[in-house]
Amino acid sequence: MDVTKKDLELINQLSLTELKAEEVYAFRVVCCDNLVDRDYEKFSDDALDKMAELYAGKPIISDHLPMAKNQAARIFRAQVEAEGDVRRVIGYAYIPRLDSTKDFIESIDTGLKKEVSVGCCCNRRICSVCGDESGGCGHRPGKVYDGKKCYRILDGITDVYELSFVAVPAQPGAGVVKSFGGDNADEVRAQGDCGELEAQLINVEIENLEREIDNYGN
Ligand SMILES: [Zn+2]
């Protein structure tokens, strides 16, 4: 992915040292979308917009490759991109080209599909059938009511956490892996600043932008 002048400005706001375009490797991360997942949950449009706002500046760390913290990839901007009815939060990330980041860059560059797990914090889950937020309405996600399948709408994003590379699941298409009420939730609850929170882990994939240069920067 080519780094535009504007991108480089954003990158240098985050970088400790002034980087030139040729010293930067940039790529795209699909963070999440607005589709109903296999747990019958989906993000609201507001949630996606908020996440795009919050992802800017967040690091992407790797548990495979030993890298110093300041060498981790970092999202320098994020935006919601629509393709038909599907809206996706796309993060644009960079990593400095160094000897120590060569392997990391190569693994993305070769087009290997990598998974990253992402954590976010939301305080509203809304029933698609009746709009209830208490969880006590009795409508069951996945069940059909008046011809429409019930799901929960995730809204009220209060925070997103760093993204991290994880091992690619043994089963392809294993889908979204989420855990509510995990360690992160407890951690944020302890701070007491955003009410009833749920930490959510979502498997997302990295796209190799080399193939999509045409769509970028136009
Ligand atoms: Zn309901």
Tell me what the mean pLDDT of segment 11-36 comes to: 88
For residues 148 and 188, give the distance between their C-alpha atoms in angstroms, rounded to a whole number.
35
Tell me what the mean pLDDT of segment 42-64 comes to: 85
The structural domain count of the chain equals: 1
- Show the domain range for 168: 5-215
> Is 98 in contact with 73 (CB distance < 8 Å)?
no
Instruction: Give tens-digit pLDDT for 153-169.
Output: 999 888 887 676 655 43
pTM above 0.75, yes or no: no
- Span from the CA of 189 to the centroid of ligand 1 (angstroms): 26
- Span from the CA of 130 to the centroid of ligand 1 (angstroms): 4
Give the environment of ion ligand 1: residues with CB less than 5 A.
Answer: 127, 129-130, 132, 137, 139
How confident is the model at residue 27, as a pLDDT? 86
How confident is the model at residue 143, as a pLDDT? 97
- Span from the CA of 28 to the centroid of ligand 1 (angstroms): 37
Tokens standing for residue 68: 């110093």
Residues 6+ apart with CB under 8 A from 14: 57, 74, 76
Query: What single-letter DSSP state applies at residue 12?
Result: H
- Span from the CA of 124 to the centroid of ligand 1 (angstroms): 13
Question: Is pLDDT above 90 for 142?
Answer: yes
